[in-house]
Structure 1
Amino acid sequence: MKTLLITENFPPKSGGSGRWFWELYSRLPHAEYSVLAGEWKDSDLFDTDSALSISRYTLSSSEWGFISLTGAFFYLKTVLLIRRQIKQQKITRLHCGRVLPEGVMAWILNIFTGIPYSCYVHGEDLETAASSREQNFLCKQVIKRATKIICNSQNSANLVAKFGEAASRKAIVFHPGVDSSQFVPAEPNVEIRARLNWLDKKVVLTVGRLQARKGQDMMIRALPAVKKDIPNILYAVVGDGDCLTMLQNLAAELGVEDNVQFLREITDQQMIQCYQQCDLFILPNRTIGNDIEGFGMVLVEAQSCGKPVIAGDSGGTSETLIEGQTGFIIDATREHNIVATVVELLTDNQKLKDMGDKGRAHILQNLDWKALVLKAKALFR
């Protein structure tokens, strides 16, 4: 039996779901799993260093529905490509990175060939599709014929349940994990902190795309009040995205531009060093329209590095931590909640350490890839 994972999002493209798929499927038996992934810059270099069989194709489109000629042609050419991959590799089942568009491709193939498929759900994908009558219809059809619906959180499974009892029975919660041997705690390092311009700073870190739902703007809005208690506060923002200019302008308007640092392009190793050397991690996420945070892998990575975390009460973030022990879930749409929680933690070094230690233990016990791979093997049988 051989499985083909179809996913547009896959390294070297950055992003939580793509990294999740890489971390999981690279640990599964290579003779039993292969990947058809989207084409990105430096894909060839990435694939050369991988023992996992990876094929590349353009899996992105401006249209995910059938009504437009663009969408119809996109599905036609990708379905034909996948059909060739199935024959060449003797594929017996498909895994789909999302309901749209990858799940639709598998749904079409299932109708005409009978090949079974399972589909991943991340939360924001179903919420976004709900705003389109056509896309919502396609989601229903994909879920209806799928063997399993693999949900990154209970919150995502609850969204699947809205499609009916039969859909709910197929939903299986499988949390993303972390490589705890790579994301490890480290003592404060003067050389690294100097390189990052973090010496003598109390550093609050966010890692993630610069997009509205991540809530980086709310942490920036909280900085003037935080500065009153912690004058040496620094908010380090790792990531890039459409909101960069807005965030830079906001920091300038509030007079905290010297307290905000944007780190747009860093290596994976440098990102880990940021986790290790910061004092506190925050993901002040919120729901924007139909856009939600499905899980929050960065919260898992931060805890693996022994850091307390603060997250917004939207989506599946509460499933990443132990409330009050490894971090806090707050209403991050209210500035005063951020101020109070950040100040409480950064003014209590013992609490920072205790919560960080508990966070590391939580990850080792519940969200380390070693245990999750065993669960995946049983799930995928």
Structure 2
Amino acid sequence: MKKTLLISEIFPPIHGGSGRWFWELYSRLPKEQYFIAAGLSDGHSEYDKQHDLNVTRLPLSSPAWGIKSLTGLSFYWKNFLKIRSLVKKNCIHQIHCGRCLPEGVFGYLMKKLYNIPYLCYIHGEDVEAASSSRELSYIVKKVLDNASRLITNSKNSQRILINHWKVNPDKTVVLNPGMDSKRFIPARYNLETRKKLGWDNRSVVLTVGRLQKRKGQDMLIQALLRIKKDIPDILYAIIGGGEEKEHLQTLVEKLNLKENVQFCSEISDEEMIQCYQQCTLFALPNRTIGKDIEGFGMVLAEAQSCGRPVLAGDSGGTVETMIIGETGYIVDCTSSEILAKKIIALLKEPDLLSAMGQKARKHAEETLDWDVHTQKAIKIFNSISQ
């Protein structure tokens, strides 16, 4: 029986799209065959006790991912020894790397020293960010060239590998992130639930995700000035935490929109699903910031599974999450005016939103469910030979 080790700094209870992707995927695979080396995080001991995955926690966070500094060298050396020990102890035949940096470096070393094949997951923004550094570009190129497979989260990320990094197209394969359609389910409009959420019977646009510039929450906040003129009761609900929180809160105060914006950084999974179910429209107003792009947009899949129509920016891989014009729309989210006009047009067509929501649920069940993606993943893993 061949055994596999996944290495990923980002893993629950850390919040993050890639961490959730790996948890959802590998929790559906045979436990006796798959082992996980995950990063340290607050509450990880209690979290691991509640689940039956074979998880070993390692200090996979570092301020330096290059190899020119003592900090970087020390980080890679110490973790390499621990990973090598895991590989030997569990007779690992294949390694899966959560990203090129830093996880891919360990895959590369195990390949060169012990001839253990590895694959690497590519999220888009990770390799784009590395391309701005000559040192990191050199390391990433080595990792990409020596991997047996490169799994990209979207066709857009695949194009980045082929066009910018000159990767052999035959080595790449697209495996979109997904969602659990048995968990993310539609629900009828419920005023009592909406009151608990602080929404009452208002028109609610929802965004779920880290508070980062590329996510575009700031553009939708600015768009509210225009939206309010046509839809006075509009409420923009923002779920998530991150480095942009203070800036966004300041922007809301500056524009006098405190009555139209709701921030929520701490929320249970059950409450988050209720937000998906009860919102009027889900929006991910993402845009490209320098080299930072939205690789796919798992929240768009979750929203559609809950029967919600979606709206997203025309940057990165978000276009691959929906059927444009049927379950959602793509717009230029670098313009608050364009964003506002589209949201107003949609909110004024409740019958259209209802029809889109029904199609969104069907689309999510048939193409975005984790069970569908898991079968694809198994075929990819089995195609890698020693």
Q: What is the TM-score with the length of structure 1 in the denominator?
A: 0.98
| 1:229 paired residue number | 230
Deviation at 1:163, TM superposition (A): 5.4
Between the aligned partners of 2:166 and 2:64, the Cα distance in structure 1 is 30
| 1:245 paired residue number | 246
| 1:27 paired residue number | 28
Between the aligned partners of 1:74 and 1:61, the Cα distance in structure 2 is 7
Residue 143 of structure 1 contacts residue 167 of structure 1 at CA under 8 Å; is this kept in 2? no
Instruction: Read off the aligned partner of 1:347 and give its amino acid letter.
Output: K
Map 1:302-341 to 2 at 5 A: 302-341=303-342
| 2:380 paired residue number | 379
Q: State whether structure 2 residue 289 is matched by structure 1 residue 284.
A: no
Is the deviation greater in 184-193 or in 97-106? Answer: 184-193
| 1:147 paired residue number | 148
Residue 283 of structure 1 contacts residue 312 of structure 1 at CA under 8 Å; is this kept in 2? yes
| 1:72 paired residue number | 73
| 2:265 paired residue number | 264
Between the aligned partners of 1:344 and 1:355, the Cα distance in structure 2 is 14
Deviation at 1:113, TM superposition (A): 1.3
Between the aligned partners of 2:344 and 2:251, the Cα distance in structure 1 is 21
Instruction: Read off the aligned partner of 1:186 and give its amino acid letter.
Output: A
Q: Where does structure 2 lack aligned partners over 5 or more consecutive residues?
A: none
Between the aligned partners of 1:13 and 1:165, the Cα distance in structure 2 is 32
Deviation at 1:159, TM superposition (A): 1.0
Runs of 4 or more above 6 Å deviation: none
Residue 3 of structure 1 contacts residue 92 of structure 1 at CA under 8 Å; is this kept in 2? yes
Deviation at 1:147, TM superposition (A): 0.3
Residue 94 of structure 2 contacts residue 116 of structure 2 at CA under 8 Å; is this kept in 1? yes
Between the aligned partners of 2:25 and 2:234, the Cα distance in structure 1 is 37
| 1:344 paired residue number | 345
Give the match's secondary structure for 2:111. Answer: helix
Write the deviation string for residues 38-95 of structure 1: whole angstroms up to 9, x where unpaired: 0111111111121211111110000000000000110001111100000111111100
Deviation at 1:261, TM superposition (A): 0.2
Write the deviation string for residues 224-264 of structure 1: whole angstroms up to 9, x where unpaired: 11011101000000001111111111111111111000001
| 1:191 paired residue number | 192
Instruction: Read off the aligned partner of 2:180 and give its amino acid letter.
Output: D
Residue 161 of structure 2 contacts residue 167 of structure 2 at CA under 8 Å; is this kept in 1? no
Give the match's secondary structure for 2:294. Answer: coil
Give the match's secondary structure for 2:119. Answer: strand
Write the deviation string for residues 254-279 of structure 1: whole angstroms up to 9, x where unpaired: 11111000001111111111101111
Write the deviation string for residues 175-198 of structure 1: whole angstroms up to 9, x where unpaired: 011100000000122222111110
Residue 193 of structure 1 contacts residue 199 of structure 1 at CA under 8 Å; is this kept in 2? yes
Give the match's secondary structure for 2:355. Answer: helix
Give the match's secondary structure for 2:259. Answer: helix
Q: State whether structure 2 residue 156 is matched by structure 1 residue 134.
A: no
Deviation at 1:164, TM superposition (A): 5.7
Give the match's secondary structure for 2:63. Answer: coil
Residue 140 of structure 1 contacts residue 163 of structure 1 at CA under 8 Å; is this kept in 2? no
Residue 144 of structure 2 contacts residue 167 of structure 2 at CA under 8 Å; is this kept in 1? no
Give the match's secondary structure for 2:92. Answer: coil
Q: State whether structure 2 residue 177 is matched by structure 1 residue 176.
A: yes
Residue 207 of structure 1 contacts residue 298 of structure 1 at CA under 8 Å; is this kept in 2? yes
| 1:101 paired residue number | 102
Deviation at 1:165, TM superposition (A): 5.5
Structure 1 residues 284, 166: CA separation in 2 closer, same or farther (over 3 Å shift)?
Answer: closer
Between the aligned partners of 1:275 and 1:89, the Cα distance in structure 2 is 41
Deviation at 1:166, TM superposition (A): 4.8
| 1:7 paired residue number | 8
- Give me the CA root mean square deviation: 0.9
Write the deviation string for residues 199-228 of structure 1: whole angstroms up to 9, x where unpaired: 021000000000100000000000011011
Residue 307 of structure 1 contacts residue 355 of structure 1 at CA under 8 Å; is this kept in 2? yes
Structure 1 residues 219, 70: CA separation in 2 closer, same or farther (over 3 Å shift)?
Answer: same
Is the deviation greater in 251-260 or in 127-136? Answer: 251-260
Give the match's secondary structure for 1:54. Answer: strand
Give the match's secondary structure for 2:57. Answer: strand
Between the aligned partners of 1:371 and 1:358, the Cα distance in structure 2 is 18
Instruction: Read off the aligned partner of 1:116 and give its amino acid letter.
Output: P
Identity %: 52
Write the deviation string for residues 68-126 of structure 1: whole angstroms up to 9, x where unpaired: 00001100011111000001111111000001100011111211111110000000001
Map 1:146-165 to 2 at 5 A: 146-162=147-163
Between the aligned partners of 1:372 and 1:299, the Cα distance in structure 2 is 16
Instruction: Read off the aligned partner of 1:133 and give its amino acid letter.
Output: R
Deviation at 1:162, TM superposition (A): 2.9
Residue 311 of structure 2 contacts residue 328 of structure 2 at CA under 8 Å; is this kept in 1? yes
Residue 306 of structure 1 contacts residue 356 of structure 1 at CA under 8 Å; is this kept in 2? yes
Deviation at 1:282, TM superposition (A): 0.4
| 1:367 paired residue number | 368
Instruction: Read off the aligned partner of 2:273 and give its amino acid letter.
Output: I
Give the match's secondary structure for 1:95. Answer: strand
